Amino acid sequence: RVHAYEGLDVSEVVFPLRTMWQLGARTLIVTNAAGSANPDYVPGDLMVIADHLNLTGLNPLVGPNDERFGPRFPDMSHAYCPTLRSLAHRVAASCGFALREGVYAGMLGPTYETPAEVRMAHRLGGDAVGMSTVPEVIAARHLGMRVLGISCITNLGAGLGTAPLSHDEVGEVAAKARDRFVALLDGVLAGLDGALADSANA
């Protein structure tokens, strides 16, 4: 997985996704580490993404539309599949923990957000902030793929805590959440076909 902040064109960021689609993938499960913009969220929380804010200034669909991949103006009303979100909540409950559900605000990076940017994201409806995910989800929906997004809240956003932000802290919190995250993903994968079949027959 690559990121635009590494100096890549956004078309390169979504190239692996489009390749997987051409190989037959029709469901995307995307995960990320994110900072909290919601003061009720704490490091270690897992959040199902209900929607996103594209604050990156980038969109992988800019330019001539490739009709092989999808329509010129794809609908983003349900970017994150309600059926898969419900499945994630059921799996988490069966594992003995609760999931947050909120809005992911995508920033370009690679700097951590300023306190003013975190406040802005929250006032716009964002619950978590990060530097990935949004381009891939836009490209996935253009392709007609179902999407489930899960964020691991690894730090308080700038201004919500007193400690300086560091990548080491992000790694430490992610490691502590690893077992719950793995159990969640294992359960979602195990229940994926059944949940989608039930939704199709409803």
Give the distance between the most distant pair of CA atoms in the chain.
Answer: 50
Cα distance between residue 16 and residue 27, in whole Å: 14
Please write the tens of the pLDDT for every residue from 50-101: 999 999 999 999 999 999 999 999 999 999 999 999 999 999 999 999 999 9
The Cα–Cα gap between 114 and 94 comes to 37
Q: How many helices, marked H, and strands, marked E, lie in the chain?
A: 6, 5
- Quick one: which of 145, 153, 135 has its CA closest to 55? 135
Q: pTM of this prediction? A: 0.94
Q: Check whether 156 has a pLDDT greater than 90.
A: no
Burial class (CB in 10 A: 0-12, 13-18, 19+), 108: middle
